[in-house]
C-alpha cells in the first residue's frame, strides 16, 4: 500500500484509500476473535523454550501502556479545549449551522461551542452526551463558515471520530509493527482527504480556493486525541490542496476494496506460531510409546471410511513415530486440505485410549477423559506408501448388498 498509494490516490476516492489501510488489520482482528475453524497453516514458525508466553506478556504490557497513554492524552486535550468554552450565541453563525445540518440531513444532537484554546475547527465525541463541534474565538465570513460546518458535519455523519478510535485501537494491538503506525497515519490523512472530496463536490473555483485558504490558515494546528480537525499536517497538506484546487474524476473504488478483502480473507491463517516442535514420538506418544498397542485402524478417502481388521502394529508405529510435528495452540479448530486421512486408535496397559487422525498437513489427537483435542501441524511429508504397506487390505469384510 505504501508503494501503490500515489497511484491509488490518482485513480480511486480517498475514502477507498482510507478503507484499504484498515482491511488487513480488521481482517486480522475479526477472525482472531470470532473464527472457530481455520485451515491448516502453510508456514509454522517455532518459538521454543517458553518464548511465546514471554512475547505475549511483552505485547500485552505494551498494548496496555499505549492504551493508557492514548486515552489519558485525549482526556487532557478534551479538558483543555473545553476549558473556557461556551455555546455559540451569534444568530448569524447559528443560522448557517442549522442550514448545513438540514442540508446534510444530520439529526443527531451535537453542541456548537467556541473555545479560546481551539486554534482550528474540530469535532469530537462518540455519544449523545459528548458529541460537539468547536470553533476558534475569531470571526469567520459566512462563506467560510459554510465550508467549515460542511466539513465537520460530514465527519460527524460518517462517525469518523469512531474510526479514529478504532485506528488507535489497531495501533495499540499491533504496536510492535512499524508499518502499522505508518498505515494509521496515512489512513487518518485519507479520512480528511475523503471529507474534502465531499465538501468541495460541485463547488466552483472560487469556493475551492477559499476552502484551500482555510486549510492553509489552520495548517499544523492539530490537537491530537480522538478528534476530527479541519487542520492539516505538513505531510498531508500537499495532497489535500492538490485534490481541492485541481480535482480529478475518481472512481469509488468498490471493486478494488472487494478484491482486496477477498485476497486478505484467502490469505488469513497461512502462518502460525508453535510453542513446541518435535516428532510424533516425542510430542504425542511420550515415554509410554513402547507400551502402546494399536486397537483400531481406519482409512478415510473422499469422506468414506474403510475399517481394517488387521495391520502390522509395530511397523505402523515405527512409521508414525519420526513424523515431524509442530503444536498449534488456541481455541480454533483446524481443518486439512482434503485427501486421505488415517485414524489410529491406541491403548495402553493402564486403560487409556488415544485416537490419532492424520492427514497431509494436520494431526488431530483425541485422548480419553479430555474435553478438547490437540492439533499439530505436520511440517514434513507424510510417508503414505509406507503407512499403507503396514495395512492389510485383503482381510476386509465383504461389502453388504
pLDDT of residue 69: 95
Q: For residue 34, what is its C-alpha cell?
A: 470470532
Residue 211 pLDDT > 60: yes
Identify the sign of the CA torsion 58, 59, 60, 63: positive
User: Under a CB-based contact definition with an 8 Å cutoff, are residues 72 and 168 in contact?
Assistant: no
Residue 388 pLDDT > 80: yes
- Per-residue pLDDT tens digits for 255-301: 888 888 788 777 777 778 888 889 999 999 887 777 888 899 998 87
pLDDT of residue 401: 40
pLDDT of residue 96: 92
How high does pLDDT run on average in the chain?
A: 82
- Per-residue pLDDT tens digits for 68-104: 999 999 999 899 989 888 999 999 999 999 999 998 8
Q: For residue 272, what is its C-alpha cell?
A: 502460525
Residue 230 pLDDT > 80: no
Strand ordering across the sheet containing 227-229: 86-87, 111-114, 132-135, 122-124, 227-229
Residue in the structure block whose three cell numbers are 497513554: 69
Average pLDDT over residues 35-62: 80
Average pLDDT over residues 355-376: 88
Residue 398 pLDDT > 60: no
Task: Give residues with Cβ within 8 angstroms of 100, minimum separation 6.
Answer: 146, 149, 150, 153
Confidence class for position 335, pLDDT limits 50, 70, 90: low
C-alpha to C-alpha distance for 167 and 175, rounded to whole angstroms:
11
pLDDT of residue 396: 44
pLDDT of residue 400: 45
C-alpha to C-alpha distance for 177 and 250, rounded to whole angstroms:
31
pLDDT of residue 22: 74
pTM: 0.68
Q: Above pLDDT 70, what percent of the chain? A: 86
- The more confidently predicted of residues 300 and 336 is 300
For the chain, the farthest-separated pair of C-alpha atoms sits apart, in whole angstroms, at 96
User: Under a CB-based contact definition with an 8 Å cutoff, are residues 197 and 13 in contact?
Assistant: yes
C-alpha to C-alpha distance for 96 and 145, rounded to whole angstroms:
7
Please give the helix or strand (H or E) that residue 295 lies within, else none: strand 293-301
User: Under a CB-based contact definition with an 8 Å cutoff, are residues 23 and 17 in contact?
Assistant: no
pLDDT of residue 55: 87
Amino acid at each position: 500500500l505504501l508503494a501503490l498509494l500515489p497511484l491509488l490516490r490518482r485513480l480511486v476516492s480517498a475514502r477507498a484509500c482510507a478503507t484499504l489501510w484498515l482491511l488487513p488489520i480488521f481482517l486480522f482482528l475479526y477472525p482472531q476473535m470470532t473464527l472457530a475453524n481455520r485451515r491448516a497453516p502453510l508456514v509454522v514458525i517455532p518459538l521454543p523454550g517458553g518464548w511465546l508466553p514471554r512475547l505475549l506478556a511483552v505485547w500485552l504490557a505494551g498494548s496496555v501502556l499505549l492504551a493508557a497513554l492514548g486515552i489519558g492524552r485525549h482526556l487532557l486535550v478534551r479538558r483543555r479545549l473545553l476549558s473556557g468554552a461556551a455555546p455559540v450565541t451569534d444568530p448569524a453563525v447559528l443560522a448557517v449551522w442549522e442550514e448545513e445540518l438540514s442540508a446534510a440531513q444530520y439529526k443527531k444532537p451535537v453542541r456548537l461551542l467556541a473555545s479560546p484554546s481551539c486554534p482550528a475547527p474540530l469535532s469530537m465525541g462518540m455519544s449523545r452526551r459528548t458529541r460537539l463541534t468547536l470553533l476558534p474565538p475569531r470571526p469567520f465570513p459566512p462563506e467560510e463558515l459554510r465550508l467549515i460546518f460542511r466539513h465537520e458535519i460530514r465527519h460527524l455523519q460518517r462517525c469518523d471520530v469512531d474510526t479514529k478510535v478504532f485506528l488507535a485501537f489497531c495501533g495499540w494491538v499491533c504496536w510492535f509493527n512499524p508499518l502499522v503506525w505508518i498505515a494509521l497515519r496515512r489512513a487518518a490523512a485519507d479520512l480528511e482527504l475523503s471529507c474534502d472530496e465531499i465538501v468541495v463536490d460541485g463547488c466552483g473555483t472560487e469556493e475551492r480556493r477559499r476552502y484551500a485558504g482555510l486549510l492553509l490558515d489552520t495548517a499544523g494546528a492539530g490537537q491530537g486525541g480522538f478528534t476530527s480537525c479541519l487542520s492539516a499536517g505538513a505531510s498531508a497538506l500537499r495532497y489535500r490542496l492538490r485534490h481541492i484546487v485541481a480535482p480529478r474524476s475518481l472512481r469509488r473504488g468498490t471493486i478494488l476494496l472487494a478484491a482486496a478483502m477477498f485476497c486478505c480473507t484467502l490469505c488469513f491463517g497461512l502462518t502460525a506460531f508453535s510453542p513446541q516442535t518435535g516428532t510424533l514420538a516425542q510430542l504425542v506418544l511420550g515415554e509410554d510409546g513402547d507400551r502402546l498397542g494399536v486397537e483400531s485402524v481406519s482409512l478415510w478417502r473422499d469422506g468414506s471410511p474403510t475399517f481394517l481388521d488387521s495391520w502390522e502394529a509395530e511397523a505402523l508405529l515405527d512409521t508414525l513415530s519420526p513424523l515431524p510435528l509442530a503444536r498449534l495452540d488456541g481455541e480454533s479448530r483446524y481443518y486439512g486440505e482434503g485427501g486421505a486421512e488415517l485414524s489410529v486408535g491406541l491403548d495402553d496397559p493402564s486403560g487409556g485410549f488415544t485416537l490419532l487422525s492424520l492427514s497431509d498437513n494436520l494431526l488431530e489427537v483425541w485422548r480419553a477423559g479430555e474435553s478438547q483435542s490437540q492439533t499439530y501441524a505436520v511440517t514434513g511429508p507424510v510417508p503414505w506408501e509406507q503407512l499403507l504397506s503396514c495395512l492389510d487390505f485383503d482381510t476386509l469384510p465383504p461389502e453388504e448388498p
